Structure formats: structure tokens, C-alpha cells
Amino acid sequence: MLKGIGVSPGVVVGVAYRVESVLGAGEPQSLESAAMVPGEIARFDRAVEETTVELETFVQRIALELGTPAADIFKTHLQMVNDPEMTARVHAAIEKKRLTALSALQSVMNAYAAQFARIDQDYFRERVTDVRDVMTRIGSHLTRKPGPAENGNGATESHAGEEPVILVAHEILPSQAMSLGNLAIAGIVTETGGSTSHAAILARSRGIPAVSGVDGIMNDVVAGDLMVVDGREGHVIVRPDREATSAYRKVQREFFLLKDRLVANRDQPAVSCDGTHVEVLANINNLADAQAADSVGAAGVGLFRTEYLFLTHHDVPGEEEQYEYYRQIVLSSPNKTTTIRTLDLGGDKTVPYLGRRNEPNPFMGWRSVRIFFENPKLLVTQIRAILRAGRHGKVSMLFPMITTVEELRRLNTMVKEAKSNLRREGVPFADDVKTGVMVEVPAAAVCIDALLRETDFISIGSNDLIQYLVAADRDNPKVAHLCEPLSPSIFRIINMVLEACQRTGTPVTVCGEMAGQPRAALVLFGMGLRRFSMSPAFVPQIKALIASVTTAQAERFAHHVLQLSTSDEIRAYLSERLHEVSAELEAIDFA
């Protein structure tokens, strides 16, 4: 059993599908005889054909979800896959160097990557990622269904083809994560990344069990291996024996049944035993998530991360395109209620067109609104698009990573100017779009009173708030244990913000992942939180949780938790309380 961090709950038994970090990987493999050359060439050509079909479908899907220009990035991949020069070079490497198709592909792609890397332009250097992406795709078709000889793993049960697929990777980049929906993925295991890395967030939004920070997993797993992924406990078992396999299959079935049962409450309001109403909202990244939010019965979208539109673009999307995309998101959101967050690039999400940055400390660096102050036009375009989309529903605008009141004032002025320009130009927009501040930098929490005087609403981004509060990178497995939501410091700081909002009657949401975690949500509800926003997959369980507790009970829990001094005590205490309130929800809790 290998230990990592459980980043998306649930249990799954399936077969490994490796996402190779192909560049620089492994020794080249030679063919045993010249007679194998034609077969190997045919195998490569087949993989190219399969990749082409896969990419074509993918381009269509992305075009539907994110709009045509967003699909362009993968159209470029299609061109790369079908580049006759690339094919000729791979064929030559198989024929002349007698390499296997995979090794030939590797050597040709490595040469391309080296060529790109030498070009002294950021745009081309960034294209190395595309080369890696394309190579991984073709390579994965070459290794997809290994025969027993390649698998070398006759002792374990293997049912490649019938089993769900478990993605195993060193790291999943945000742009790669976008393409995950293309495969029927049932589980994800990575060597790097913590519970709030964007790959983890995407896994959760699709309800896929995932474990990160599993050191050396790429050395242990061969494509086609049977694996168990336990996203609650953060365990991975490679080649489980019969007993473990059947025990975990049973848990997997129970997990699915419970989720099905919970979704049945989709049309019920979120209300506690004693009649306190709460709003259970969804965090979304794209159009498909907005639809998912509606189908699980969320009351609205509490956080729309606009970065994903930008991450799949070659350049800055224009105002018209953004407007059209936001309009579609609003129309698809439950109750046409959407909180649109302005661009939060930086940290683990970068785009080549904003310039290459080699910051020693990207999470503490040029991120989010800090970028806008150097590129105000970028923000003005987005603000205009959001104000225009506001006509199609109940839209709010949310600013991430606010650190000082001065920043908020600058942003408020920009919104005011954007409105008066739209008015002067005669472009229709919604004047009543509310603006809010994300509290995710401790400085903002400490000065919450000052911020409250100049904003309409607050959204607590606990993912970042935790990492900045404890000074530990949320995606670094070595320090991830410090990024603990069930901790005295995070509950105290959140309580402080909630009390300030209650005093001033300011609407407040918690939109970090802890809002969807049953134990944490019990405390937040007890502290008086009435707006929770989370990955759509968790909406049903939080509605069920609220329905199983009274307000007074939750207040007691929160009061007690605020007296405790350690995370261990808080965890133990809340596990007992959750068990009393709803033993079945304990099975899908995580954190």
C-alpha cells in the first residue's frame, strides 16, 4: 500500500493508464529483429490515427464547453499529430535505428522540444508543453492495451478493457486536466500536487476519487496494472490481491449507491432539521460544470473560476468572446445566479501570453489582481464583459487575492469607469452587478472591517487562506500536512471574518474546498455561515448534512471547536459528532 494525500473522496478499483512524462524518460528500446520493423511502423500509424480521432472529438467538445477559439489550442495539436515531417522522422527512426515505435517517437519529439527550447521567444518555448502533450497522447495509444508480455504482471487480476481507467501521472498540468473529460476516467493518482492543486479541484468537480503526493508511483505501475485508489484515506494499492480487490470493490459499490441516493434530494431546499435555510452553491470552471451544478441541485454558482477560459487560449480572449461565454455560463447556472470571479492567474496557473515568469515563489508573487495593475486593459475588458453578461441573470463580480484596501479602491474605481464608458457608448449592461472581495490573504481577514466598508459581499477562499496563514505551499506534499482546514487557526480566522460580516449584515460565502467537507461544514454552519460554495459533486452531501442537524446542535459543535488547541483534537471531536449526526456521510468525508 502506498500513502499519499487523499484529494478527492471515493474509492475505485481500476486499471492503470499512465500519463508519461515522456521527455527525457527512460532508455531507448530497440526492436529485436529487422523483421519487426513493418509491424512497428503500422503500430505507430495506427496510434496516430487513434490520436487524430480522439483529438477531433476533443476539439468538438472543448468548442462546445469553452467556445471555438478555446479549441484552437488542440487544433494545433491535431496539426502536430498529422505533420508529415514528424511521421517521416519517426518512420526513419524505427527503420534505421531499429527503435520501438515509442522510443522512436520519443527521440523525434525530444529533438523538436530541444529545437523549440533554443528559440529565444517565450511563445515558442512555451510550445514545449504542446509537444509533450501531443507526444503523450500518441504514446498513450501505443501503450494503451499492453499484452501480457509487456505488462509482466501475470500474477494479479487484470481486466484491461472492461475495468474503469485510473490515470497515473507524475503531475497533471491545468491544461492537461482540461482534457481529462475525454477519457472515461474513474480515478487519478499523481506523484506531485496537494489537495487544492487545480488537478485535484477538477477531479473533485467531476466526482473522481484522487490521491496526490504518491512518491515513486510512476516506477511502480505499468499500464494495465490493477489498482485501488482510496481518495478518502489517501491510499493506493498497486496489484492488490484477491481479498483486497473484492473488499475495495464492495466499498466502491456502497460509495456509488450512497451518491445516487444523495442526488435524489436535488429538488429539495437546503434546510436544517429546525428550519434554518442555507444556500448550497457550486464552484465551477466551465460550462459543463455549470450544467452539473444545475443537475445536482445547487442553488446557484458561488464561484466561477474564469481562468480556465484563458488557460486554453493562445492569446487574451476579446470582450465579445468573453461576454458570449459568460452569458452562456449565466444562462446554464442554477437559477441563473452566478458569481463570476475575475482572472486569478499566477501560482500554478500561467499563460504564455502574459510573459514568461521565473519567480522563485509564484504563489507569493505576481498573481491575480497584482497582474492587472500592470495590465489594466486586461481587467477592464473582463469587467466590461461581466457587466454586460449581468443582464442575463443575477450576476456578481468577485475579486480574488485582495490584500489591501488600496487595491479594492482601485478595482472599484475601474468598475465605476467601465460602467460610465459602457453607458456613454450605449452598450447595454446591468448596473446592479454587486462586487465582492475574496478573503484569502490573511491581511484581508485581519483588516476585514476596513474592507467591509467598501464592498457588497465577501467570499472566503479557504484554500489560499489556509496556505498563506500557515506559510505552507498548498501543492507541496512535503508540507501539505500543515494545510489542514480542521485546525484551530483556520477556524478562528474564519470565525473572525464571519462575525464581522454578521455585525455589518454583509452577505458572506465560504467557497474554498472545506465548504464541501462534512466535518468542516458542520462547524461553519454552527458559526452562522449560511452560504456554502463547493464542487458540484459535493452539493448533495452538504444538503443532506444540513438536513440532519439542528442549528443549536451545530452552534454547540462550533463553540466547542473554538476552545480546542490542536487539529488532532478537532478532528477526533468532529468525527464523533459527524458519526452521531449522519454515520453514512462519514463514509464520504475527506480532508
Residue with cell 452531501: 541
What is the CB-side half-sphere exposure of residue 451 using CA atoms within 13 A?
Answer: 32
Q: Which stretch binds Mg ion (CB under 5 A): 304-312, 456-464, 484-492, 529-537?
A: 456-464
Question: Which option in ligand PEP, Mg ion, none does residue 270 bind, with CB closer than 5 to 8 A by kind?
Answer: none
Question: Which option in ligand PEP, Mg ion, none does residue 196 bind, with CB closer than 5 to 8 A by kind?
Answer: ligand PEP
Which residue lies nearer to ligand PEP by CB, 387 or 466?
Answer: 466
How far, in Å, CA of 333 to CA of 328, rounded? 9
Residues 160-199 that bind Mg ion (CB under 5 A): none
In the three-class reduction of DSSP (H, G, I as helix; E, B as strand; rest coil), residue 243 is classed as helix
State yes or no: residue 464 binds Mg ion (CB under 5 A).
yes
Size of the site for Mg ion (CB under 5 A): 3
DSSP letter string, 103-144: HHHHHHHHHHHHHHHHSS-HHHHHHHHHHHHHHHHHHHHHHS
Which residue lies nearer to ligand PEP by CB, 461 or 477?
Answer: 461
Q: Which amino acid is at 375?
A: N
Question: Which option in Mg ion, ligand PEP, none does residue 139 bind, with CB closer than 5 to 8 A by kind?
Answer: none
Which residue lies nearer to Mg ion by CB, 203 or 303?
Answer: 303
Q: Which stretch binds Mg ion (CB under 5 A): 136-144, 373-381, 435-443, 520-528?
A: 435-443
CA dihedral 486, 487, 491, 493 (to 10 degrees): -140
Which residue lies nearer to ligand PEP by CB, 195 or 553?
Answer: 195
Q: What does the DSSP 8-state code read for residue 119?
A: S
User: Closest separation between CB of residue 474 and Mg ion, Å?
Assistant: 9
CA dihedral 487, 490, 495, 500 (to 10 degrees): 170
Question: Which option in ligand PEP, Mg ion, none does residue 512 bind, with CB closer than 5 to 8 A by kind?
Answer: ligand PEP
Q: Where on the chain is the footprint of ligand PEP (CB under 6 A)?
A: 196, 303, 305, 344, 440, 461-464, 511-512
DSSP strands (E only) in 422-542: 434-439, 457-460, 508-510, 531-534
User: Closest separation between CB of residue 461 and ligand PEP, Å?
Assistant: 3
User: Could you give the residue numbers annotated as active site?
Assistant: 198, 511
Strand partners, 459: 438, 509
Q: Which residue is nearest to ligand PEP (CB)?
A: 461
Name the residue among 195, 389, 412, 237 with its Cα closest to residue 306. Answer: 389
User: Closest separation between CB of residue 209 and ligand PEP, Å?
Assistant: 19
User: Closest separation between CB of residue 368 and Mg ion, Å?
Assistant: 8
Question: Which option in ligand PEP, Mg ion, none does residue 153 bind, with CB closer than 5 to 8 A by kind?
Answer: none
Q: What does the DSSP 8-state code read for residue 334?
A: G
Which cell numbers in the block locate residue 44?
Answer: 505507430
Question: Which option in Mg ion, ligand PEP, none does residue 484 bind, with CB closer than 5 to 8 A by kind?
Answer: none
User: Closest separation between CB of residue 323 and Mg ion, Å?
Assistant: 24
Q: What is the pairing mode between strands 394-399 and 226-230?
A: unpaired
State yes or no: residue 461 binds Mg ion (CB under 5 A).
yes
State yes or no: residue 146 binds Mg ion (CB under 5 A).
no
Phi, psi torsion values for 285, nearest 5 degrees: -120, -15
Q: Which residue is nearest to Mg ion (CB)?
A: 464
Sequence-ordered list of residues with C-beta below 8 angstroms from that of 431, at least 6 positions apart, any chain? 419
- For residues 123 and 352, the answer to whether their CB atoms sit within 8 Å is yes
Which residue lies nearer to Mg ion by CB, 217 or 444?
Answer: 444
User: Closest separation between CB of residue 6 and ligand PEP, Å?
Assistant: 17
User: Closest separation between CB of residue 514 and ligand PEP, Å?
Assistant: 8
Which residue lies nearer to Mg ion by CB, 51 or 368?
Answer: 368
Neighbours of 427 (CB within 10 A): 13
Q: What does the DSSP 8-state code read for residue 393?
A: S
Residue with cell 462575525: 499
**In angstroms, how far is CA 269 from the centroid of its own chain?**
27
Which residue lies nearer to ligand PEP by CB, 224 or 512?
Answer: 512
* Binding footprint of Mg ion on the chain (CB under 5 A): 440, 461, 464
